[in-house]
Structure 1
Amino acid sequence: MSIPLQIQRIDARRDDVTAALDALRAKLSPSGNVVSEAGRRRTLEVFGEPLSPVQVVEKICADVRKTGLAAVLDYSRKLDRAELTADTIRVSATELEKAHAEADPRLLAAVRRVRQNVLEFQTAILHQDVEVTRPGVMLAQRYVPLNRVGVCVPGGAAAYPSTVLMAAVPAQAAGVKEVAVVSPPTAFGANNPVVLATCHEIGIREVYRIGGAQGIAALAYGIEGLPKVDKIVGPGNLFVALAKRHVYGEVDIDSIAGPSEVVVIADQTTRPDFTAADLLAQAEHAPGASILITWSEELLNATAAELDKQVQQLSRCELTLQSLRDFGCLILVRDAEEACRLTDLIAPEHLHIATDNAAELLKKIRNSGATFLGNYSPVALGDYAAGPSHVLPTGGTARWASGLSANHFLRSSSVIQYSAAALKEISADIEYLAQVEGLTAHEKSVAMRTR
């Protein structure tokens, strides 16, 4: 029996589209205030009191910081129902080798090809050392890779070897020597042979059976057998996002990610079956936001019909329908100009411009995490194989944030060298500004070298 499709429709010619988008954005924000009834019951069961997600994360992080491995093992038992020990929390070399040896050759071949695509792109965009010289002066900007990073790989509803590739390979391209992967102790996480085979194929030898906030805390603070990292990257659920926010400053993070999202801009030339498939691909994340913006009412109606038809054929049909109902939206606008204006307001994680003049419309849009042009550049291309990372800013943060790249694993520092003559030439300005600020030691440190 088919399940009826319910998806919000907005006609920007008569509806308050800004208010509707604000309401949608509020639902997608990783604020930490929304939790399911099942989640509330689980919190009460584990912690003995009705804590908010933010309070849960604060307690877990404090406990891991205080007692290290003991707290991680305790929370793994209570939250993941996994009985782990100091010897089994890390995936052994034998387990990694076995998963790799038993992997489908097609998987390993695909991983090798995708890794090469990612390496090629990420290496090409790497920052290079810069040197500026003039008589007596050498100024440089120096880029050095981070020493050690942690990668979060989700493992709740599905296995994600693509996340291993898209988060770890950019770090390798930057020259990071140590990459530690944490993933829940589940059949889709650190116990998944496909995930383990992918890690082994790309040279990752540190994989830990730790999920949730305790995994983030373990990476940030370090525990027995898992040294702390310099930066944590990779997606996760609400508790992972909140934990990353909590430990930021102790370590660097990539972003505080919310649900996945796509905006598709379409016109009368766009194929409705393609568009429906692209919207469903985001909704399938459950939660995932799927938004169509078009000035063709005929295309909008045809896409709605295709959605109704295609969703019934999906393996995650009910979850996908729930996402479409909660986070989906079909928006009819007056023209292409209004479509671009609304897209900039949304600042989507993924933007697919599927019109006949996609490149021209792109020039009018500033805010998106990743942009896909034309009917034959689906978002799944970026999710799995193209080269740019699929770890992207969500929740409207593409207004100021960027997608993960190899450059995020580099630390820049400046180098300054002056001769005596060059210092003397600029000393008057330095001394004057130091006097203005009342920093006489600064003034004297220059004056004694030039007089």
Structure 2
Amino acid sequence: MAKQKDIKPAITILSTRKHGLDEIKRRLKRATFDPIEMAEVEAKVREIIAAVRERGDEALVEIERQVGWKGCTVEKLRVTKEEMDTAYASVPPSLLESLCVARERLERFHQKQLPRSWFIQENGSLLGEIFRPIERVGIYVPGGLAAYPSTVLHVAVPAKVAGVKELVIVTPPDENGKVHPLVLAAAQLVGIDTVFRVGGAHAIAALAFGTQTIPKVDKIAGPSGIYPVVAKRLLYGVVGIDLLPGPSEVAVIADETAPPDWVALELLAQAEHGPDSVAVLFTPSEKLLKEVAEKVTRYLSKSPRRRYLEPALKNHSALVLTRNMDEAVMLANEGAYEHVALMVAEPMKLVGKLKYAGAIFLGSQTTVAFGDYLAGPSHVLPTAGTARFSSGLSVLDFMVRSSLVLLSEEDAKLLAEVASVLAEAEGLDAHAKALRARKKG
């Protein structure tokens, strides 16, 4: 009987002993939002933004026709109420129930995030902060590779909890101008009836400037592909933005107690989002690593999403054998990943060692997929290493904070002398005079 040939792993295998930490870090380095590296994309996006700013709806229609929806017209940009109602009615009751459960869990979690205005009163003076909701927000819902009703919920719910009065959705249609009924149903479920079938950088520009059909918003939120992300970055200041979420990422830290098939599926679940997704395993267990490599490879050969998985696993993912668990945590911190899954016997012991992560999932039973749908926190999270300085979407992203200062006559006279000295040191004469006027009363 002929000996069965070993199957070549579908994912890169690395070892800190063999390759060294510097080489591992280099191999795991992923695309960032560096404007120098993205100069070509940025140039195209600037052209799109300029066209929308100058020609409004006309530019939107022109670009939509170029990217695939040949029958696009100004009149068709907005999804009608009849389409919304038809979409909602078409969704099976069991699926609607699942969306309702997700909405309720998201609402409960985000209610806990609501900040309270606060005040300190002393000597007749008052200091404090007040929080108020943003007036109008645009939500970008991705399309193309899959339908994402979950994104509608994960952006709209924290915005609604924050008290945002008006929410507007933009989402890319298919080549026939259709928006997936699940997206429309989810919009109705959270009380949104303003949906536009337009995506890409031109949709972001439309929300930022406003067009004859699409209203100007105060802030834009939601995950997207590279063109809308670049558009958000370029338009920050014209409009507020949430963060710059790029391709999905997961770093799994696992020990010998983790079920190999669960670890493999954890990696595959994020990798299947698209060809640029990132899935990395850090483990000191050589036995686990080998079993995971085999299971990932075998699953890939049968996966219905192989065309997305294959490039993601080949180009952006790896299984890394570490010397110990501390080294695994160090490498995860170095990457500052969107999701970190702690598939270890005692996950709470590692939480304090993790410095940077968009979201942390504790224990083998807590798959990141729960977070993608209904765990509670929003699944809009920092990617590409931006978890070093930013956090996932929250209620606070849909609110503004104003400081309050009221000084009594007594405090004004007392502080005027001190503050005027500082004003004079900075050479600001009018500042000093305004302060001294308060001292005189």
Q: TM-score, normalised by structure 1?
A: 0.92
Separation in 2, partners of 1:24, 1:337: 18
The Cα of 1:13 is off from its aligned counterpart by: 1.5
Aligned mates of 1:292, 1:262 — CA distance in 2: 8
Residue 95 of structure 1, aligned match among 83, 88, 92: 83
The amino acid that maps onto 1:56 is: K
Match of 1:41 in 2: none
Distance 1:323 1:247 in 2: 29
Q: Which residue of 2 aligns with 1:86?
A: 74
Q: Tell me if the contact between 2:131 and 2:400 (Cα under 8 Å) persists in the aligned partners.
A: yes
Shift of 1:189: 8.5
* Matched letter for residue 308 of structure 1: T
* Alignment counterpart, residue 417 of structure 2, candidates 390, 411, 428: 428
User: CA-to-partner distance for each residue in 1:136-184, whole Å, 9 max, x for gaps?
Assistant: 2111111111001111111111100011111111111110011110001
- 1:410-429 aligned at under 5 Å gives the runs 410-429=399-418
Paired AA for residue 164 in structure 1: V
What does 1:38-187 correspond to in 2, within 5 Å?
52-186=40-174
- 1:42-86, Cα deviation, whole Å (9 max, x unpaired): xxxxxxxxx932111000000100111111111111123332222
Q: Does 2:294 match 1:294?
A: no
**Cα deviations across residues 159-212 of structure 1 (Å, max 9, x unaligned)?**
000111111111111100111100012179962111111111110111001110
Equivalent residue number for residue 401 of structure 1: 390
Q: Alpha-carbon deviations, 1:395-441, whole Å to 9, x = none?
A: 11101110111111111110100110111121211111111112121
Q: 144-153 vs 73-82, which deviates more?
A: 73-82
* Correspondences of 1:123-272 after superposition (within 5 Å): 123-186=111-174, 191-272=179-260
CA contact (8 A) 2:72 2:177 kept: no
Task: Show the counterpart of 1:42.
Answer: none
Residue among 6, 15, 18 paired with 2:10? 6
Take 2:247 and 2:9, find their aligned partners in 1: how far apart are those partners? 21
Per-residue deviation, 1:338 = 0.9
In structure 2, what is the equivalent of residue 350 of structure 1?
339
2 CA distance for matches of 1:82 and 1:144? 42
Shift of 1:119: 0.9
2:32 counterpart residue number: 29
In 2, Cα distance between the equivalents of 1:74 and 1:270? 52
Deviation at 1:12, TM superposition (A): 0.5
Structure 1 residues 419 and 378, CA gap change in structure 2 (3 angstroms): same
Is the Cα–Cα contact under 8 Å of residues 69 and 176 in structure 2 kept in the other structure?
no
RMSD: 1.9
Code of the aligned partner of 1:25: K
Cα contact 2:257–2:344 (8 A) shared by 1: yes
Q: SS state of the match for residue 167, structure 2?
A: strand
Alpha-carbon distance, 1:252 to partner: 1.2
1:32, distance to aligned residue in structure 2 (A): 7.2
Give the aligned partner of residue 322 of structure 2. 333
Q: Which residue of 2 aligns with 1:39?
A: none
Match of 2:3 in 1: none
Provide TM-score, normalisation by structure 2: 0.94
- Sort the Cα spacing of 1:13 and 1:161 in 2 relative to 1 into closer, same or farther, 3 A: same
Equivalent-residue separation in structure 2 for 1:393 and 1:265 (angstroms):
19
Moved over 4 A (4+): 30-35, 187-190
Q: What is the SS of the residue equivalent to 1:9?
A: strand
- 1:88-146 per-residue CA deviation (whole Å, 9 max, x = no partner) reads 10001121112112221112211111111111111111221111221121111111110
* Deviation of 1:20 (Å): 3.3
2:425 is the counterpart of 1:439: no
Query: Following the alignment from structure 2 to structure 1, what is the Cα–Cα distance between the partners of residues 339 and 50?
Result: 35
Q: Distance in 2 between matches of 1:328 and 1:355?
A: 20
SS at match of 1:14: helix
Aligned to 2:294: 305
**What number of residue pairs does the alignment pair up?**
434
Structure 2 CA distance for partners of 1:4 and 1:193, relative to 1, 3 Å: farther
In 2 relative to 1, CA 189–70 (structure 1 residues): closer, same or farther, beyond 3 Å?
closer
Q: For residues 22 and 113 of structure 1, do their structure 2 counterparts lie closer, same or farther at Cα, with a shift above 3 Å needed?
A: same
Identical counterparts, % of pairs: 39
Structure 2: how far apart are the matches of 1:244 and 1:83? 27
Contact persistence 1:150–1:180 (CA under 8 A)? yes
Partner Cα distance (1:341, 1:24) in 2: 13
User: Which residue does the alignment assign to 1:380?
Assistant: 369
Q: Does 1:389 align with 2:392?
A: no
Task: Show CA shifts across 1:250-298 (max 9, x none).
Answer: 0111122221110000001111110000000011012211100001111
Structure-1 separation of matches of 2:143 and 2:93:
23
Q: For residue 161 of structure 1, what is the amino acid of its counterpart?
A: P
Matching residue's letter, 1:315: P
Once residues 64 and 193 of structure 1 are traced to their aligned partners in structure 2, the CA distance between those partners, rounded to angstroms, is: 27
SS of the counterpart of 1:413? Answer: strand
Measured in 2, the distance between the counterparts of 1:24 and 1:190 equals 38
**Partner amino acid for 1:21?**
K
Unaligned runs of 5+ in 2: 1-5
Paired with 2:8 and 2:293, the residues of 1 have a C-alpha distance of 12
